[in-house]
Amino acid sequence: MPIQSATAFAPATVGNVGIGFDILGHTFPAIGDRVRAIRTAHPGVRIREITGIAADLPVEAARNTAGKAVLSLVESQALPFGIELAIEKGIPLGSGLGGSAASAVAAVVAANELLNQPLTRLELLKHAIQGEAVASGSLHADNISPSLFGGLVLTVGIDNPRIKQIPVPSGIRCVLVHPQFYLSTREARAMLNRDLPLSDVVWQTANLAGFLAGCYTNDLDLIRGAFEDVLIEPQRAGLIPGFAEVKRSAMEEGALGCSISGAGPSVFAWALESQSQAICAAMVRAFVRQGLACDQWIAPIGQEGARVVERQ
């Protein structure tokens, strides 16, 4: 008897990781979204329900990131059955924690379980990217890839994406502070300058390359020296009240780097485990001085991506 329903969990993610705009991201496994895919007799894709901490989302499949991703998958397969989706949001909406990506990823991973011939993760990636585009208005994989594959993930290319999991030095923790206000990814993208100065681009590429070389060689000094986004962060910092102070607080407490998670407003820092509590507390205090309440988490950068948690 074929599987009637499957539920998948997909972790939150830190997109860009500061120096890798649109190409780099890492999992943040402390939170995530769950999607249950249910086989139905009627062809097509429908959203059955949306629950959890962010229920105010489109229920029309083509306008919902999870729905659109599974529509893309279904249209590539000519399935003899339909799929209904039950979405349970664990990631705050508009937080910069990859919530739309996690829903899209969890949805395709769950739906994939219903297929007679499951697709590869690389094929699922392409469908999930289509879903993510509904929310962000652009095709980019810096949240999708780490949520699907796990770890610190580089995506090269969109039409024919190549995925590389980058090693993270052991003992690193990610501190995440989410000031409780909504920031639209679409707007945070639209505000960006379309042209960038060559000199800043050279600086940023040096930082990106240094960061990656530091990760591959366990060189914390190089990671710290290179962990600075000079292209995007300065443009978006003004969207987050107190950002400069939050960042300064984190760096003064010993963070390896601190920047905006995805399009914000969440701010993340990489830290040694021993310093992560103090860094987190300092960041939260800086936000509170702005009158902003915060969610806060400290977690290792997990190596595990989306996974099926239930089959019936």
Can you give the binding site for a copy of itself, defined by CB under 8 A? Answer: 20-24, 154-157, 162, 164, 166, 192-198, 201-202, 204-210, 212-214, 216-217, 219, 221-222, 225-226, 231
Least spacing, CB of residue 194 vs a copy of itself, in Å: 6
Nearest to 15 by CA among 262, 203, 270, 195: 262
Helix (H, G, I), strand (E, B) or coil at 117: coil
- Comparison of 206 and 308: residue with beta carbon closer to a copy of itself: 206
Q: In the complex, what is the shortest distance from the CB of residue 219 to a copy of itself, in angstroms, rounded to a whole number?
A: 8
Cβ-based nearer residue to a copy of itself, 42 or 194? 194
Q: How far is the CB of 204 from a copy of itself (least distance, A)?
A: 7
- Of 74, 89, 72, the closest CA to residue 35 belongs to 89
For a copy of itself, the closer of residues 67 and 214 by Cβ is: 214
Nearer to a copy of itself, 49 or 200 (CB): 200
Residue 221 CB, nearest approach to a copy of itself (Å)? 8
Which two tokens mark 118? Answer: 């499951």
Q: How far is the CB of 207 from a copy of itself (least distance, A)?
A: 7
Partners of residue 175 on adjacent β-strands = 269, 298
**Which residue's entry shows tokens 């690193």?**
172
Note the Cα 65 to chain centre separation in Å: 13
The DSSP secondary structure of 5-73, one letter per residue, reads EEEEEEEEEEETTTT-TTTEEEEEEEEEEEEEEEEESSSEEEEEEEEES---S--SGGGSHHHHHHHHH
Instruction: Please calculate the CA angle 13-212-151 and round it to the nearest 5 degrees.
Output: 30
Q: Shortest approach of a copy of itself to residue 11 CB, angstroms?
A: 22
Give min distance, CB of 201 to a copy of itself, in A: 6
Residue 155 CB, nearest approach to a copy of itself (Å): 7
- For residue 148, the minimal CB distance to a copy of itself (Å) is 17
Q: Are 281 and 294 in contact (CB under 8 A)?
A: no
Tokens of 240: 């987050």
CB closer to a copy of itself out of 56 and 195: 195
Contacts for 53 with CB less than 8 Å, ≥ 6 apart? 89, 90, 91, 92
Cβ closer to a copy of itself: 161 or 302?
161
Largest Cα–Cα distance of the chain, in whole Å? 61
CA distance 154 to 210: 14
Angle 14-297-257 from CA coordinates, rounded to 5°? 55
Question: Which residue, 27 or 249, has its beta carbon nearer to a copy of itself?
Answer: 27
Instruction: Give 225 or 302: the residue with its C-beta nearer to a copy of itself.
Output: 225
Among 129, 6, 7, smallest CA distance to 68 is for 129
Token readout for 168 is 């993270």
Task: Considering the complex, state which of residue 59 and residue 222 has its C-beta at the smaller distance from a copy of itself.
Answer: 222
